[in-house]
């Protein structure tokens, strides 16, 4: 077994202070080594979040901040900023490898990491479901069906994760001579992690198919609608990235040593957050440009220029219609999902 200088010192200290067999101690050292790699991946995930935040902060300030609090605005902020909390907690958890953390504290930390991920990823599913529901004209059966699937996914992932957390045996400092959060054993870690990845991917696949079916019909009815186009494109782009990272996660779970199985958990969380935030900002931006078109009775590049020069304008409700206001679009002229960002109806503004 090859160990770095720091790991060798930990190993020697463990051997001198523990009655465990060397094979088991070697496995524990591998857990310490994996913790270093996980820590680096968590830093990379945090860097992705910060970089995307810097790139899109101007859009957030212009399109989200001026409006009153609403369901859509709360969902946006939770989707965008909760991952920072997830990853910071994860960094603390993986960086306690020599801080004297006991097993009870390790269990609390790990539980926080797991449950924040479950809540965060399923908040993204709520955003995707509401977007799909809006395209179907607030059809109650579409909403009910997707919410049932969401609830089943949350229950499955939550139950699986809680069983996993309860099954972990931590190698405490008094037992091995190694301080910090080091996993000694866990019950079916690979199967439980893979099951969670696959269940989330299955839900997102169903949402995508339902969304694409409706969007394809609307594109035929109104091929010039920029909003339908952006929803269609963003849906495919979002699914592509989520599909790739989910498959990579499943392959990783079954091909790498068990200590490295969770290395991409929060990376997937960051990708979900960035993609969902972009979806909401893109929808808002297209709807705002449509409003400029209607107000100025213009079209094409003139509308785009008008939007860029109207930084301080009061935005209308998020609209599912293009500049042409095609009446064949049977989904209304205002966003019917609790007025996404809290705008008053246009009639009230006038």
**Residue 231: its H or E element:** helix 226-255
The whole-number pLDDT of residue 328 equals: 41
pLDDT confidence band for 81 (50 / 70 / 90):
very high
How far apart are the two ends of the chain, measured CA to CA in Å?
Answer: 74
Mean model confidence pLDDT for the chain: 75
pLDDT digit string (tens) for 260-298? 888 888 899 999 999 999 988 888 887 776 554 544 555
Q: Which of 267, 192, 275, 253 is nearest to 39 (CA)?
A: 267
Predicted local confidence at residue 319, as pLDDT: 37
Q: Is 216 exposed, middle or buried (0-12, 13-18, 19+ CB in 10 A)?
A: exposed
- To 5 degrees, how large is the angle CA 285–CA 291–CA 293? 110
Neighbours of 202 (CB within 10 A): 14
Class of residue 153 by CB neighbours under 10 A (exposed 0-12, middle 13-18, buried 19+): buried
Q: In the predicted model, is pLDDT for residue 309 greater than 50?
A: no
Strand partners, 185: 169
pLDDT value at position 64?
A: 86
Instruction: Report the distance separating Cα 108 and Cα 274, nearest Å.
Output: 27
346 pLDDT above the threshold of 50: no
Residues 6 or more apart whose Cβ sits within 8 Å of residue 15: 22, 25, 177
Which pTM was predicted?
A: 0.79
């Amino acid at each position: 077994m090859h160990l770095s200088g720091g790991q060798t010192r930990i190993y020697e200290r463990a051997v001198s202070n523990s009655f465990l067999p060397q094979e088991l101690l070697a496995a524990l050292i591998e857990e310490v080594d994996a913790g270093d790699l996980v820590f680096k991946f968590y830093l990379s995930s945090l860097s992705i979040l910060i970089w995307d935040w810097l790139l899109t902060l101007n859009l957030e300030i212009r399109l989200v901040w001026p409006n009153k609090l609403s369901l859509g605005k709360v969902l946006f902020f939770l989707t965008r900023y909760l991952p920072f909390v997830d990853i910071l907690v994860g960094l603390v958890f993986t960086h306690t490898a020599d801080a004297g953390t006991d097993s009870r504290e390790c269990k609390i930390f790990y539980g926080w990491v797991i449950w924040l991920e479950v809540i965060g990823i399923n908040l993204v599913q709520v955003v995707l479901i509401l977007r799909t529901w809006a395209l179907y004209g607030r059809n109650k059966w579409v909403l009910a069906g997707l919410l049932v699937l969401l609830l089943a996914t949350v229950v499955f992932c939550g139950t699986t994760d809680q069983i996993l957390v309860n099954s972990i045996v931590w190698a405490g400092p008094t037992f091995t001579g190694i301080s910090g959060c080091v996993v000694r054993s866990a019950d079916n870690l690979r199967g439980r992690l893979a099951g969670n990845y696959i269940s989330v991917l299955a839900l997102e696949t169903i949402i995508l198919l339902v969304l694409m079916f409706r969007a394809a019909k609307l594109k035929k009815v109104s091929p010039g609608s920029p909003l339908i186009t952006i929803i269609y494109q963003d849906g495919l782009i979002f699914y592509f990235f989520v599909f790739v990272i989910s498959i990579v996660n499943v392959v990783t779970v079954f091909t790498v040593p068990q200590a490295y199985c969770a290395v991409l958990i929060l990376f997937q969380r960051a990708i979900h957050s960035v993609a969902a935030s972009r979806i909401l900002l893109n929808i808002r931006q297209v709807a705002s440009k449509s409003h400029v078109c209607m107000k100025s009775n213009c079209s094409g590049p003139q509308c785009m220029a008008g939007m860029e020069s109207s930084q301080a304008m009061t935005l209308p409700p998020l609209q599912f219609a293009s500049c042409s206001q095609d009446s064949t679009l049977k989904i209304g002229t205002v966003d019917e999902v609790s007025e996404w960002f809290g705008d008053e109806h246009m009639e009230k503004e006038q």
